[in-house]
Amino acid sequence: MADINVVPLVDVVLVLLLIFMVTAPMLQMGIDVNLPRVTARPVDVGEEKLVLTINADREIFVNRYKATLDDLNTKLESIFAARIDRDLYLRADETVPYGFVVQVMSEVRKAGVDRLGMITDPPKE
C-alpha cells in the first residue's frame, strides 16, 4: 500500500487543539502589563491617551484630575463608558511603595481596563 495514512496526524492535531483550548483561559488570570522598552517607538500622540499618575505623596491623578483610591474605580468606569479603547498608562514615582501601586492596579483592573501600560524613563547614562 503506497498511500500516506493521515489518521494519526489528525489525531495528534486534535489532541493538541484540545490541550490549547483547555490551557488558554488559565493564562488570562493575572493583570496584563505591557512594559515599554528603552528602544521602543514613542506612543502616537494623535489620540489622547489616559494616563494615571501616582506621585511621591501617594496622590492619584487621572490625566490632570485628582482622585482618591476609593473613588478611582467609579471615575474610571465613567470615563471608559464613553471610550472605545480601554487602555490605560500608569506612571508612578519610584519612592511609592510597591504595595500601594498594586492596590491602584487592582482598582484599575476592577474598572474594566483591558490593557495596562507602564510608563518609565530610560536609564541614565
Q: What is the pTM of this model?
A: 0.59
Per the document, the length of the chain is 125
CA distance 105 to 116: 8
Look at residue 13 in the predicted model and tell me its pLDDT. Answer: 94
Would residue 7 count as lying in a domain?
no
Taking a C-beta distance cutoff of 8 angstroms, is the pair 55, 61 a contact?
Answer: yes
Domain count, the chain: 1
Give the domain extent around 47: 32-118
Each of the 125 residues of the chain gets a pLDDT tens digit; together they read: 678 888 889 999 999 999 988 887 776 544 344 434 445 455 554 457 888 988 888 889 888 888 888 998 889 888 888 778 888 899 888 888 889 999 999 988 888 888 888 888 777 66
CATH at residue 107: 3.30.420.270
Residue 2 resides in a domain? no
Q: Map grid coordinates 479603547 to a residue.
A: 85
Per-residue model confidence (pLDDT) at position 115: 86
| Residue 3: its H or E element | none
DSSP codes of every residue in 52-116: EEE-TT--EEETTEEE-TTTHHHHHHHHHHS-S--EEEEEE-TTS-HHHHHHHHHHHHHTT-SEE
| CB 116, CB 78: distance < 8 Å | no
Q: Is 8 within a domain?
A: no
Domain membership of residue 18 (yes or no) is no
Does a structural domain hold residue 38? yes
Q: In this structure, is residue 13 part of a structural domain?
A: no
Q: Domain for residue 12, yes or no? A: no
pLDDT of residue 22: 86
Asked if residue 66 belongs to a domain, the reply is: yes
